[in-house]
Chains A and B, each alone.
Chain A
Amino acid sequence: MMLPAVSVSAAVFSPKTFTLDNGLQVVVIENHRAPIVMQMLWYRVGAADEEPGESGLAHFLEHLLFKGTKTVKPGEFSRTIARIGGRDNAFTSYDFTAYFQRVAAHELETIMRLEADRMQNLVLTDEVVLPERDVVLEERRSRTDNSPAAQLREQVRRALYLNHPYGRPVIGWMSEIQQLTTENALAFYRKHYAPNNAMLIIAGDTTLEKVRALAEKYYGPIPRRAVPERVRPKEPPHRAARRVVLENERVTLPAWSRTHLAPSYGADEKGTGYALEVLAQVLGGGSTSRLYRKLVIERGIASNAGAWYSGDGLDYGEFGIYASPKAGGDIDALEKAVLEELAAAIKEGFKPADIDRAKRLMSAQAIYARDGIRAGPNSIGQAFTQGQTITDVEEWPERISAVTPEQVMAAAKAVIKRESSVTSILLPEAAK
């Protein structure tokens, strides 16, 4: 049985979608501006789906998907993409693992054949897996161990999540990466990589008919498989504010931040995410925002200040506030000033004109997002893997426009609570 393609509302990317019999959902975003095409394959598995003690396995497996199949030799995947003038890569987060290639439009079949092949035919041996584990250890040294700020961010996550696996680093703990084996990787692959646990997105200079034919041919024969429910441990009530401090001789500029546990778009039916997005913009998005204006421009106590909302998680989101003191400035005085301004903002509310400007700015991003072929597959793939729908993506600008000042203030009061926060402080090493 083949269902007709459904045209989703035409607000931003105007995607079309259909589902193969094996459960693979396929999305096509036509864009004929340049003769190029992009394939993205999103799996609903990420670091938050790992078992305790196996941190880093989802990311490690992502590296290993380039190590060959029954018919493609190790490294041949990327060499083939290079030979046809393409780019390929992949990335892993808590809730997803995604693979992509961008090639000239007439090479679409090549990349669909290769990507479908490694959905079911991966071959791993210690000979290729063990050197790649060393590569990941070097990656961890580059990203985290060589950087005091990155080390602190890792500690903040550990402190923020009392129970949920979002508290682990995506790349994994050094000691656990070192223990990962070929067998671990293959077991994880067999458990999570299945057509009914993935979304295939093709964007660019192609048509629904072409994609449908190629998807049937290459992805269609892959059998559906049982995949685990994504039920992760929940956060218990947060009752005590936490504080983490890292001192390092390589820090010259102290930094202060406070991260709050918040609802995510996908996990919150009330739509708090939209209000938090507007709040982050008007409170701390750029140099006209409230915190920047008060702390950097008017009081001159900070060299930088702002706020952010990360609402894409399947289970939870985060709302953060940050500031750095002026050169030579005192971190305690800065913290006091930030908290004063935050309290004042929540007490006084924001000017309607400021909220309108923030909303307009964000809605306009929908037009800029159409300038290029990457934003569509990225947004839709993230939505799919993180509890949202294509309609949520297409209606995002409208829903942002509909946020009221009252909703912004209600969201602020619900989320900015000390007891569900981690305050982090990065300091130069104290004089000995």
Chain B
Amino acid sequence: MNIFRIVPNLIPGFVIAAVAVGILAPVKTLHAMDIRKVVSDKGIVAWFVPDTSVPLVAMSFAFRNAGSATDPDGKEGLAAMSSALLDEGAGELKSQAFQRALEEIAAQMSFSAGRDTFTGALRTLTAERAKAFDLLRLALNAPRFDDVPVKRIQSQMLASLRQQSKNPRKISGRLWSETVFPGHPYSKPSGGTEKTVATLTADDMKSFIRERFSRDRLIIGVVGDISEEELKQRLDSVFGDLPAQGPKFAIPEIKPAGGGKTLIVRKQIPQSIVVLGHAGLKRADPDWYAALLVTRIFGGGGLSSRLYAEIREKRGLAYSVYAYLSPMEHSALLAGGVATQNARTAESLSVIRAEWRKVAEQGITAKELEIAKTYMNGSFPLRLGSSRGIANMLVGIQISDLGMDYIKQRPSLIDSISLDDANRVAKRLYNADDLTVVIVGDPKGIDEKR
């Protein structure tokens, strides 16, 4: 029995669709959570939840305006490649020595480039925290970008890009982004292209972190077994010497384009992959909560949405079908997806379109709204079972600027949505005629519409 390894050959019963319904749905039971705002001597701010139930410390952090959307033209993939190289040698420690040092203390360090933000996480046993925080300090302040690991990571990224070029899901996602965000940084693949990744250098990555790892961009959440006083010192050590400010990367606002198009990439595979959607709502939109509830009812995760009932339960058309809100810093989408055998893809698509139209025209029912509210308010504590979950939530609240009292207010924000609000927003948000559809596969009876 290996406690931490995922079982191979395990077939999960259901794909829980990646429902990016904003970042959170907090709840009443959270009132008791002791969130503190910690400010270090050098002015580093972190939200902190002390917890001594397990002897470990978890930290999540993000740099805003530092994700792949800030990759310079011709250097697409830079944020992603930088994220892969921060733990490949730093300070005096070369790649293998750095990796070994992490293993010696069983610390877990990771970095990731999102579209808008560059994120990182550290999880360490309390007993090893001094060494773990110091390794993170090195990774953020003095990454080496030695030639050998740079070449190795570069070649791994190139291999992966080549593989993705034949992967139906990747092909559909790529074409979808290009269609809804033409010419915009959001259209560019975050992992870069074979052409751009091949040209990236250590100097590119050095200037990437110099310009983007600045304190004015930084957001931090910490959970665990550490004192507030010590945390302040650790924050200063890890982040205190980063530059106060960095250049701003201007990313234009964009309204998703492509409305009404149906694009097909013909591939001889048994099942067609369908991605579809149109403009959504940004996180700060006053109609956000109504949209969240309606979208939960329409195509939300779990086993009870309208799309789930119509596509999966009644017709057996797909294993996975979903719709979700995807708010970004400079745009917003309401998107969905399904995968169906080629012969019945047209049927899936027409059922989804009909449901899309129906929710706009006829709205939702009072009962559906009630259930969605109790779900939203009841499910939040489920995210608080682990230190990492809480640390990520602390970062998410800060990124969306929801305020320290957000957790208390959230239930009433949800509960205050009336059926009229919900149906007004359903009408505003859902527009079947505006759907952009991308299909990869060999669907029968569907025509392209360009």
Contacts and interface: CB of A to CB of B under 8 A. Distances in A.
Contact of B54 (A287, A327, A371, A388): A371
B56 A367 contact: yes
Contacts of B9: 93-94, 170, 310
B316 interface: yes
Contacts of A36: 381-382, 384-385
A103 B386 CA distance: 15
A168 to B, nearest CB: 10
Given A75-B303, A91-B12, A104-B378, A34 B7 contact: no
Nearest to A265: B1
Interface of A: 12, 31, 33-36, 59, 62-63, 66, 74-75, 78-79, 81-94, 102-104, 107, 128, 130-139, 141-143, 145-146, 170-171, 204, 249-253, 265, 277, 286-288, 293, 296-297, 300, 303-304, 309-312, 324, 326-327, 357-358, 360-362, 364-375, 379, 382-383, 386, 388, 392-393, 396-397
B251 interface: no
A59 B316 contact: no
Contacts of B100: 288, 357
B148 A34 contact: no
A303 B3 contact: no
Nearest to A388: B1
A371 B387 contact: yes
A145 B29 contact: no
Interface string B273-296: 100000000000000000000000
Nearest to A379: B3
B394 to A, nearest CB: 14
A333 to B, nearest CB: 16
20 contacts: A33-B51, A59-B11, A78-B302, A78-B303, A85-B382, A89-B303, A103-B382, A104-B378, A130-B316, A131-B314, A138-B317, A142-B339, A288-B99, A297-B95, A303-B152, A326-B159, A360-B106, A366-B3, A368-B123, A383-B1
Contacts of A133: 316
A104 B29 contact: yes
Task: Pick from A66, A102, A141, A361 the residue with the most CB of B within 10 Å.
Answer: A141
B376 interface: yes
B168 interface: yes
B340 interface: yes
Contacts of B108: 368
The interface residues of chain B, by DSSP majority, are classed as mixed
A79 B303 CA distance: 7
B304 A79 contact: yes
A368 to B, nearest CB: 7
B10 A93 contact: yes
A301 B273 CA distance: 35
A327 B316 contact: no
B232 interface: no
A255 to B, nearest CB: 10
Nearest 3 pairs between A and B by C-beta? A85-B378, A134-B316, A364-B106
Contacts of B314: 131
Given A130-B316, A142-B339, A287 B53 contact: no
Given A142-B319, A327-B158, A371-B387, A85 B379 contact: yes
B385 A34 contact: yes
B45 interface: no
B341 interface: yes
Nearest to B370: A83
A89 B378 contact: no
Contact of B309 (A75, A170, A397): A75
Contact of B165 (A63, A252, A304, A364): A252
Contact of B29 (A35, A94, A379): A35
Task: Pick from A93, A204, A371 the residue with the most CB of B within 10 Å.
Answer: A371
A357 B271 contact: no
B383 to A, nearest CB: 9
A33 B53 contact: yes
Nearest to B316: A134
B233 interface: no
Given A296-B152, A365-B3, A287 B99 contact: yes
B362 interface: no
A352 to B, nearest CB: 14
B255 interface: no
B403 to A, nearest CB: 22
Contacts of B156: 303-304
